[in-house]
Structure 1
Amino acid sequence: MPKIAVARLWFEGNSFTPSPTGRAKFESREWATGKQALSLYAGTATEIGAVGAFLATRPGWDATVLRCASAQPGGPMADEVLAGWLAEVLPPLRTGGFDGVYLSLHGACVAASDPAPDLTIARAVREAVGRKVPVVASFDFHGNMAPEMAELLDGASVYRTYPHVDMDRAASRALDMLERRVGGGAPLHGAIRKQPMVLHSFHMRSAGGPMAEVWAMAAELEEGAVCEAAPFGGFAWSDSPYAGPSGMAWASDAGAAKAAADRIAEAIAARRSRFDVTLPGPEEALRQALAGPAGLVALLDPADNPFSGGIADTPDMLRVLVEQPPPVPVVFAFLHDPDGVQAALAAGEGAVVERALGAQVTGLFGPPVPFRGVVERLTGGRYVNEGPMERGSPVDLGPTCVLRWEPAGGGVLRVIVTSRKEAAVDPAFFALHGIDLGATRLLADKGKNHFRAAFAERCSMIVECDCPGPASLDLAALPFRHVPEGWRIPGG
């Protein structure tokens, strides 16, 4: 009976976000082991959901599910989180008895004192189990990949969609590689080829554009000896010595793996200029949105997108909506302000509250916005994602509220405020708050590409704007310390 170990530490770190990510933020999202982890994600489109599905069709396999942890992207992970995770996971691996190991990692994790924790984990796991035990991993497409990963692992896979709606499929491919090795199959050879640049992720969607072309080309390479070939876009706001895009391939022949990884990396470099982006300011973006076609129009603030490590606290887009109130139904999603929620709870539904909104975490991105509105709705903050992204996964926002303001010129502005920071990219988020998107003209959301997974077809138009925030557009203005000297950084 094959016996495998499963462990997960999935976190995308924004080195320029002022709020560190401590253990509490992991515990509020995912901090589980054993049957609890498998039960929590059973039937979901996630990596651990894929593990459960894999085991269900292989009754002869036994899996020990070690610590599984994830947090929303945010500021650098606290050192004690990484140290604690390793202290839990490594001792069981050292005891031996496992025929293989599957790791669910991100690839763009950063910690307070470690700019490349994913590599630290791979090295530590390899040392713990030795060279004879196969170790495979799955990664997020935005991983900043160290070439050494291809030497430490026996196989790896990466998401092939952006928005990421194939987390489970990536895990399944990695588990298939593990099954092949555990069953006595020939070793696979891996290769990772970097490009000396940092790229914006705006034009990396899999539905079209330059990265979609690279994905299509990589898929054609998967024949003969090559079983996995895919690009990594990198994550621009993780200050890492391995920052930037890369090509990865796995094959039964080392030369074939290297050739495929090289071709993918070269295809990205050939399209470099097409990844650059300029965006209008919030005033112009609002004008464009209101002039858009009939139906629901989205106005996105990517600089404070939680999935890019944003804090859901920057005030610029809300300030424009308050100072230039549109004469239409508007929903603003969202602000992460636990104290604001508590004030609404104390006042109760139907009460009028006055509060400064935004800039509660930091004033670096502008001053708070004075706001006076009615507490329209209070919730417990729990829902289940409809998907397609992370379909079936439970979400806990903590207590939340909806504040409603009806300006004199007509229209209505509803502001959603939450106790915990989880991106507003799923229809269930809005259903929880009683929002009728069919009756909403403008949806102002702190989001970017992942928003499109569920809303590209629901919206008649999507407009992105350039606001100050932790994931700002001008990368060259950021104080990088670990990105190699000479790397091409947009804005410079």
Structure 2
Amino acid sequence: MPHIAIARLWFEGNSFSPTPTLRAAFTGREWATGPGALAAQAGTATELGAAHAWLGAHPDWTATVLRCGAAQPGGPMEAALFDEWLAEVTAGLRAARPDGVYLSLHGACVTTDDPAADLTILRAVRAAVGPAVPVVASFDMHANIAPETATLLDGASAYRTYPHVDMAATATRALALLARALSGAPRLHSAIAKVPRVLHSFHMRDAGGPMADTWAEAAALQTGPVLDASLFGGFAWGDSPHAGPTAMVWAEDATAAEAAASRLATALTARIPDFAVTLPGPTEGLAMALAAPGGLVALLDPADNPLSGGIADTPGLLALLMEAGPPVETVFAFLHDPDAVAEAAAVGQGGVFDRALAGQVTAAFGPPVPFRGVVERLTDGRFINQGPMERGTLVNVGDTAVLRAGKLRVIVTSAKEAAVDPGFFALHGIDLAAVRLLADKGKNHFRAAFAPLCSAIVEADFPGPASLDLAALPFRHVPEAWRV
């Protein structure tokens, strides 16, 4: 009867965000231990949902569930909180003495004093359990993977989809590798091959393009001795010494692992030009969106996308809409501004709201935008994800307000959670069938639920923490030769 330990730290750090990620970002989303941490995710399309299902399907397995934490991407994680998580997990591992370990990690965690926090986790976990206990992990495909990872794990797998709708499937693959190790099978060989370049993630979607083509090659390699061939695009805004794309292969034969990893890294390298991206400017992007075929159209601000570590506070998109005075029903999603929500609640539904919005965290991306309108709706910010990404999970964006000025509605929230699910808009009483323009601080993940609903999706080049111009970023840890 195998007894395993489970721990999770799912966080992607944007090194160039002006604000660190503090405890509240985790406690407001996921910060739990014990069986309840899994039970809360039962039936959801998440890694912990998959772990709950795995244990249910394997009643001879038991588990100690250690600290499981997750937060939306953001500025570097507070170092003291990371140290607390790591100390709790390693102490729990030493006490539990598990037969095996499953880790749910993002792979692009940075803290205020550690640019390679996931590697720190793997080293500490290995030290806590010793060399004989198998340890496996699941990763986001935007992980910045260190070559040393191959020596610290006994198996791993990465998301195959972007938008990430296969989180549960990835965890299941990792747990299957753990089951193999616990069965007494010979230890797998791993090979990791890095591509020395930092790439934009715009063209990493699995629906088509250079990453999709390389994923097809990886899938074809998973035969015979190769049990898992994973690709990582890396996270360009995480200033890590291990940034950039990676091929990671787990195989029963060392030669097969090395050959497959080398082949995939070569394939990615050959496609580097295909990852280059150009976007229209804000004014051109708005014109393109309004000129699109009838129905719902989306104008996206990827530079302040919360799922790339944006702050949901930059003023560019809102200023554009206010200046243009959109001639069609328009919804802007969203601004993270607890003070604005409190002021809206104070004047009440139907009351006049007169206050500058955006640019509250920093003026680096532009000044605040004057706004005068009415409070159309107030909510408690709780909804269930309806779309394919993290389907079934409870989301809490804190108290929220919908503000209206003419044909423009602006959603303001007390907590920062990306507006990439139809449930977010249903919460705010918005019938998307009656909306022409949806202006969203989003990027590729937005497409998971909204590509089928939109006649066109236009991304434009706005200033923000995840800006298009990687060459302008003040990298400190990414090797200079790898920078754009």
Instruction: Provide TM-score, normalisation by structure 1.
Output: 0.98
Instruction: Choose from 467, 470, 478 the match for 2:465.
Output: 470
Identity of aligned residues (%): 69
Task: Output the CA distance in 1 between the equivalents of 2:8 and 2:450.
Answer: 29
Q: Distance in 1 between matches of 2:389 and 2:309?
A: 18
Per-residue CA shift, 1:289-347, capped at 9, x if unaligned? 00000000000000000000000000011101001112100000000000000000000
Map of 1:331 onto structure 2: 331
2:286 aligns with: 286
Matched, 1:415 2:421: no
Q: Are 1:430 and 2:444 counterparts? A: no
Matched residue, 2:190? 190
Task: Name the SS for the 1:247 alignment partner.
Answer: strand
Are 1:230 and 1:264, in contact at CA under 8 Å, matched by a contact in 2? no
CA-CA distance at 1:15 after TM superposition: 0.2
Partner of 1:363: 363
Aligned with 1:357: secondary structure? coil
**SS of alignment partner, residue 369 of structure 1:** coil
Residue 293 of structure 1 aligns to a residue whose secondary structure is coil
Structure 2 contact 64–96 (Cα < 8 Å) conserved: no
Please list the CA deviations of residues 388-433 of structure 1 after superposition, one character each: whole Å capped at 9, or x if unmatched.
0000111001100000111xxxxx0000000000000000000000
Q: Does residue 129 of structure 2 align to residue 124 of structure 1?
A: no
**1:308: which partner in 2?**
308
Distance apart, 1:61 and its partner CA: 0.6
Q: Does 1:385 align with 2:385?
A: yes
Secondary structure of the structure 1 residue equivalent to 2:175: helix
Runs of 4+ in 1 over 3 A off after TM superposition: none
Q: Kindly provide the CA deviation profile for residues 346-387 of structure 1, in whole angstroms up to 9, marking residues without a partner as x.
A: 000001110101001111100010000110000000001012
Deviation at 1:231, TM superposition (A): 1.0
Displacement of 1:434 in angstroms is 0.5
Give the C-alpha shift of residue 6 in structure 1. 0.2
For residue 189 of structure 1, report the CA deviation from its aligned partner: 1.0
In the TM superposition, what are the counterparts of 1:178-327 in structure 2 within 5 Å? Answer: 178-327=178-327
SS in structure 2 of the partner of residue 231 of structure 1: strand
Residue aligning to 1:65 = 65
- CA positional deviation for 1:177: 0.4
Quote the offset at 1:230 in angstroms: 2.0
CA–CA distance in 2 between the matches of 1:49 and 1:387? 16
Deviates more, 1:255-264 or 1:11-20: 255-264
Structure 2 counterpart of 1:370, which letter? P
Structural RMSD (CA): 0.7
**1:445 corresponds to which of 430, 440, 443:** 440
Counterpart AA for 1:67? R
> C-alpha distance in 1, partners of 2:403/2:11?
31
Which residue matches 1:43? 43
Match of 2:83 in 1: 83
What SS is found at the alignment partner of 2:247? Answer: strand
One-letter amino acid of the counterpart of residue 339, structure 1: D
- The residue matched to 1:119 in structure 2 has which SS? helix
Q: In structure 1, what residue type is equivalent to 2:427? A: L
Q: Secondary structure at the match of 2:480?
A: coil
Corresponding letter in the other structure for 1:134: P
Q: What is the rounded CA distance, in whole Å, between the counterparts of 1:232 and 1:159 in structure 2?
A: 9
Tell me the CA shift for residue 40 of structure 1.
1.2
Letter in 2 for 1:83: D
Opposite residue 203 of structure 2, the aligned amino acid is: H
Helix, strand or coil: the match of 1:92?
A: helix
**In 1, Cα distance between the equivalents of 2:252 and 2:387?**
36
More moved, 434-443 vs 92-101: 92-101
Write the deviation string for residues 181-236 of structure 1: whole angstroms up to 9, x where unpaired.
Answer: 11111211111110110000000100011110000010000000001012100000
Unaligned runs of 5+ in 1: 407-411
Residue 82 of structure 2 aligns to a residue in which SS?
helix
Query: How far did 1:262 drift?
Result: 1.0
Distance in 2 separating the partners of 1:458 and 1:263: 38
Distance of 1:95 and 1:258 partners within structure 2: 36
| Letter matched to residue 448 of structure 1 | K
Query: 2:94 aligns to what?
Result: 94
Structure 1 residue 25 displacement after superposition: 1.0
Q: Which residue of 2 is the match for residue 156 of structure 1?
A: 156
Cα shift readout 1:261-304 (whole Å, capped 9, x = no counterpart): 11111111100011011111111100000000000000000000
**AA paired with 1:140?**
D
Secondary structure (helix, strand or coil) at the match of 1:322 reads helix
What's the TM-score once normalised by structure 2's chain length? 0.99
Following the alignment from structure 1 to structure 2, what is the Cα–Cα distance between the partners of residues 447 and 132? Answer: 43
Alpha-carbon offset, residue 4 of structure 1? 0.2
State the alpha-carbon separation in 1 of the partners of residues 139 and 221 from structure 2.
Answer: 19
Measure, in 2, the Cα distance between the counterparts of 1:81 and 1:168: 26
Using the alignment, how far apart are the partners of 2:137 and 2:258 within structure 1? Answer: 19
Residue of structure 2 equivalent to 1:135: 135
CA distance in 1, matches of 2:98, 2:280: 54
CA contact (8 A) 1:96 1:129 kept: no
In the aligned structure 2, how far is the partner of 1:192 from the partner of 1:438? 47
Amino acid at match of 1:159: Y
Q: Which residue of 2 aligns with 1:109?
A: 109
Q: Letter of the 1:327 partner, please give it.
A: P
Q: Is the 8 A contact 2:5 2:96 kept in 1?
A: no
Provide, for residues 96-124 of structure 1, a one-character-per-residue CA deviation record: whole Å limited to 9, x for no partner.
53110000001111001100000000000
Q: Could you tell me how far apart the structure 1 residues matched to 2:316 and 2:381 are?
A: 25
Whole-Å Cα distance in 1 between the matches of residues 480 and 324 of structure 2? 43
Q: Displacement, 1:488?
A: 3.6
Does the 8 Å contact 2:288/2:458 carry over to 1? yes
CA distance in structure 2 between the partners assigned to 1:366 and 1:95 by the alignment: 51
Look up the match of 1:19: 19
Distance 1:485 1:290 in 2: 41
Counterparts of 1:23-34 in structure 2, within 5 Å, are 23-34=23-34
State the distance in 1 between where 2:88 and 2:372 align: 48
